[in-house]
């Protein structure tokens, strides 16, 4: 039974329960499901079993002492309600060779058994101690087999911070930062996409920055021990504010919750009953109070805003950026962009302010301003400009310049339909080559990409500068791109799946979701229009030094998120930079610049990045690299993998 419904969220969230070894699997499962849980995290093999003892006792029955044969449950039940828990005594990096060999044999036997049962996932026990090379090697061998089963590596959510007492020692070894163990494990297994994490959420949580790293990792489950719950005034289990916030983040990132441990809050069943008003409920399961509370947390989450709902299916989905200069957009694409009313309202405000600045009230009716929309598409900026003129009582003569002949057809019908024939002149031409009959007071364009200049706005507007009056205004008047290091195992793996260099040297437009943003954004390139400097050159080079907050711990940088902010006119801006995004605008997702090999950054070490905007006679491209803490290759040298055609 999923954790109730959240407004608009299409995915259900489930809650499981960790159980002890039982010979009676059907009973165990029925009890748990009746108790309201969706699945069990169940030990598959008798914990007393050791391969080495079997052989020396000459008791080689050959049969693994499992918790129930494949026949005791239907295949569908095994697969949808049981996550296999691999024996927790397993220690593949022990100095005790017998234990190590037993562990290796047992791990392989249990995973093979789980695979035979078609389980969707197995939980691998917490790595003991700091080193996990042999454990990783065995898991990596298993991952090499063609099998779809997910392996969840259990990791206690723990990071030793200065002055922190180390608690909950029981749940594993003594790593200073458990993220390091995970990082080492997954690097040894080459970011295998079937390897993910199940986090043990303990009573005390590390710093918020350090928790943030996990959002970029493939966390599939959060295991919450009953000891980690507090008790509220009515004696019921509840979680601290920080725990609640963490759980909300987990819910937002499709992490399943598992309750573990015994009843630690002896709540009377009666009070629970009345608290939930659930008269049909089975009151038998001792952990039900915890499940109620988790369900309550999920249900009280704010509903997803409409825009987020609309963008749900785009989350972490890599798209190649548009090439509107080289290719002609399709009607469908125009249709989508034109729906972004917020964007055109900003343009309308900008044009209005510019008209008011340029034409004093007393000349409002006597002076006609020449406004040129360069890259008019199917006309939304023409409409916004005319609206602005109407609003401010100024008179406009509009040229709509568009290079796409298909869009020009639509423009013509629009103008006829709206009766703008006397105001708007349609020019079917590339703005870079148009021989304008007069000069413009205002040049309006929307040529920006997710990274600002990446759809070649600078080159296009340089071409249009010829027909702007010396005191004319360009809307936008400037734009700046931004860069930010991120962890995103999902995006890295999706790029890696292509198994070639080209995809690692291509920036992607993507709705970032399972992403850890490691440091504040920094500006990269700025372009100002009009730009009359004689040494004007649209090539750029910037060196950035990111300081990742020290309490984050070590991090793995998979690449960089790119954004932009544009000043349309004076205080009217437009953009997606995370600290000042234009609300409810959906025309741009961020852009992701991948790194061919993820870079590990230790606490206190700055991350130095270099990025170039280069141009040749037929194309513009970016090159990028990391120079510190260690040097990466130069990405996309000479635009070999990715470029934008001029």
Angle (nearest 5°) at CA 198 between 197 and 202: 130
Q: How far apart are CA 100 and CA 79, in angstroms?
A: 30
Choice between 390 and 602, CB closer to a second copy: 602
CB of 635 to a second copy, least distance (A): 10
Paired with 635 in beta bridges are 624
Q: What is the DSSP letter of 379?
A: S
Q: How far apart are CA 120 and CA 221, in angstroms?
A: 13
Residue 67 and residue 23 in contact, taking contact as beta carbons nearer than 8 Å: yes
CB of 179 to a second copy, least distance (A): 13
Q: How far apart are CA 53 and CA 264, in angstroms?
A: 36
| Annotated binding-site residue? 293 | no
Choice between 64 and 105, CB closer to a second copy: 105
Q: Where are the alpha helices (DSSP H) in 82-132?
A: 97-116
Catalytic residue among 455, 505, 577, 623: 455
* Residue 33, both tokens: 């499901």
Site residues, a second copy (CB under 8 A) = 100, 131, 133-134, 136-137, 140-141, 144, 183-185, 187-190, 541, 543, 597, 600, 608, 610, 612, 623, 625, 627, 630-634, 637-638, 640
Q: ω before 141 within 30° of 0 (cis)?
A: no
| Annotated binding-site residue? 149 | no
Choice between 134 and 323, CB closer to a second copy: 134
CB of 136 to a second copy, least distance (A): 6
Catalytic residue among 18, 217, 446, 623: 446
* Residue 213, both tokens: 């790293």
Choice between 380 and 507, CB closer to a second copy: 507
Q: How far apart are CA 228 and CA 156, in angstroms?
A: 12
CB of 92 to a second copy, least distance (A): 10
Choice between 277 and 535, CB closer to a second copy: 535
CB of 638 to a second copy, least distance (A): 5
Specify whether 455 is catalytic: yes
Residue 223 and residue 260 in contact, taking contact as beta carbons nearer than 8 Å: yes
| Annotated binding-site residue? 343 | yes
Q: How far apart are CA 567 and CA 477, in angstroms?
A: 6
Residue 378 and residue 329 in contact, taking contact as beta carbons nearer than 8 Å: no
Choice between 39 and 560, CB closer to a second copy: 560
Please name the residues in contact with 226: beta carbons below 8 A apart, sequence gap of 6 or more.
237, 259, 260, 261, 262, 263, 264, 265, 287, 290
Q: What is the DSSP letter of 330?
A: P
| Dihedral over Cα of 194, 195, 198, 199: its sign | negative
Specify whether 30 is catalytic: no
Q: How far apart are CA 445 and CA 371, in angstroms?
A: 11
| Annotated binding-site residue? 334 | yes
CB of 256 to a second copy, least distance (A): 27
| Annotated binding-site residue? 431 | yes
CB of 534 to a second copy, least distance (A): 9
* Residue 492, both tokens: 């890295």
Choice between 492 and 588, CB closer to a second copy: 492
Residue 132 and residue 172 in contact, taking contact as beta carbons nearer than 8 Å: no
CB of 184 to a second copy, least distance (A): 4
Q: How far apart are CA 598 and CA 84, in angstroms?
A: 31
Residue 626, classified by CB atoms within 10 Å of its CB into exposed (0-12), middle (13-18) or buried (19+), is buried
Residue 310, classified by CB atoms within 10 Å of its CB into exposed (0-12), middle (13-18) or buried (19+), is exposed
Choice between 416 and 545, CB closer to a second copy: 545
Residue 138 and residue 104 in contact, taking contact as beta carbons nearer than 8 Å: yes
Choice between 187 and 580, CB closer to a second copy: 187
| Annotated binding-site residue? 430 | yes
Count CA atoms closer than 13 A to 429's CA, side-chain side.
16
Q: How far apart are CA 516 and CA 578, in angstroms?
A: 13
CB of 120 to a second copy, least distance (A): 23
Q: Say whether 181 sits in a helix, a strand or coil.
A: helix
| Binding-site residue ranges | 334, 343-344, 402, 430-431
Binding site residue list for S-adenosyl-L-methionine: 334, 343-344, 402, 430-431
**Catalytic amino acids?**
446, 455
């Amino acid at each position: 039974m999923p954790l109730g419904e959240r407004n608009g969220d299409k995915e259900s969230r489930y809650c499981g329960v960790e159980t002890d070894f039982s010979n009676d699997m059907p009973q165990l499962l029925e009890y748990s499901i009746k108790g309201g849980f969706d699945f069990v995290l169940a030990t598959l093999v008798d914990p007393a079993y050791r391969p080495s003892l079997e052989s020396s006792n000459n008791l080689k029955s050959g049969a693994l002492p499992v918790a129930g044969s494949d026949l005791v449950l239907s295949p569908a039940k095994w697969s949808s309600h049981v996550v296999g828990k691999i024996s927790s005594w397993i220690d593949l990096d022990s100095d005790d060779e017998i234990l190590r060999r037993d562990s290796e044999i047992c791990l392989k036997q249990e995973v093979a058994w789980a695979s035979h049962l078609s389980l969707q996932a197995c939980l691998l026990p917490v790595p003991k101690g700091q080193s996990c090379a042999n454990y990783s090697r065995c898991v990596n061998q298993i991952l090499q087999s063609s099998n779809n089963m997910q392996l969840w590596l259990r990791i206690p959510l723990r990071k030793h911070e200065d002055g922190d007492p180390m608690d909950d020692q029981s749940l594993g070894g003594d790593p200073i930062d458990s993220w390091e163990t995970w990082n080492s494990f997954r690097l040894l297994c080459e970011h295998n996409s079937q390897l993910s994490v199940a986090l043990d959420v303990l009573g005390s949580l590390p710093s918020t920055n350090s928790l943030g790293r996990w959002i970029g990792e493939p966390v599939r489950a959060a295991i919450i021990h009953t000891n980690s719950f507090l008790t509220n005034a009515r004696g019921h289990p509840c979680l601290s504010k920080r725990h609640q916030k963490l759980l909300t983040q987990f819910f937002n990132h499709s992490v399943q919750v598992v309750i573990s441990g015994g009843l630690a809050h002896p709540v009377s069943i009666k009070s629970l009953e009345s608290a939930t008003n659930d008269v049909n409920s089975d009151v038998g399961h001792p952990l039900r109070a915890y499940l109620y509370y988790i369900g309550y947390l999920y249900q009280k989450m704010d509903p997803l805003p409409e825009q987020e709902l609309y963008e749900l299916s785009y989350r972490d989905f890599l798209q190649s950026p548009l090439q509107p200069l080289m290719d002609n957009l399709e009607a469908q694409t125009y249709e989508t962009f034109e729906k972004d009313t917020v964007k055109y309202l900003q343009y309308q405000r900008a044009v209005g302010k510019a008209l008011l600045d340029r034409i004093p009230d007393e000349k409002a009716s006597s002076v006609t301003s020449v406004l040129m929309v360069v890259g008019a598409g199917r006309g939304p900026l023409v409409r916004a400009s005319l609206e602005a003129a109407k609003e401010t009582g100024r008179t406009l003569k509009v040229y709509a310049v568009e290079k796409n002949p298909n869009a020009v057809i639509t423009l013509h019908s629009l103008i006829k339909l709206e009766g703008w024939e006397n105001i708007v002149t349609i020019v079917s031409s590339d703005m870079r080559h148009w021989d304008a009959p007069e000069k413009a007071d205002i040049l309006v364009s929307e040529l920006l990409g997710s990274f600002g200049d990446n759809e070649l706005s600078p080159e296009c507007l340089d071409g249009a500068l010829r027909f702007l009056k010396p005191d004319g205004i360009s809307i936008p008047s400037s734009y700046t791109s931004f860069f930010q290091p991120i962890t995103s195992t999902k995006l890295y793996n999706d790029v890696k799946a292509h198994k070639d260099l080209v995809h690692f040297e291509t920036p992607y437009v993507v709705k970032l979701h399972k992403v850890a943003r490691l440091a504040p954004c920094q500006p990269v390139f700025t372009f100002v229009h009009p730009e009359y400097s004689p040494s004007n050159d649209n090539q750029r080079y910037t060196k950035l030094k990111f300081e990742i907050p020290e309490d984050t711990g070590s991090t793995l940088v998979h690449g960089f998120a790119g954004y932009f902010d544009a000043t349309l006119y004076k205080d009217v801006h437009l953009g997606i930079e995370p600290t000042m995004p234009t609300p409810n605008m959906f025309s741009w997702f961020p852009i992701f610049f991948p790194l061919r090999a993820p870079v590990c950054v230790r606490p206190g070490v700055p991350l130095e990045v270099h990025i170039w905007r280069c141009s040749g006679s037929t194309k513009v491209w970016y090159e990028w690299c990391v120079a510190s803490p260690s040097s990466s290759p130069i990405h996309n040298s000479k635009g070999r993998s990715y470029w934008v055609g001029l």
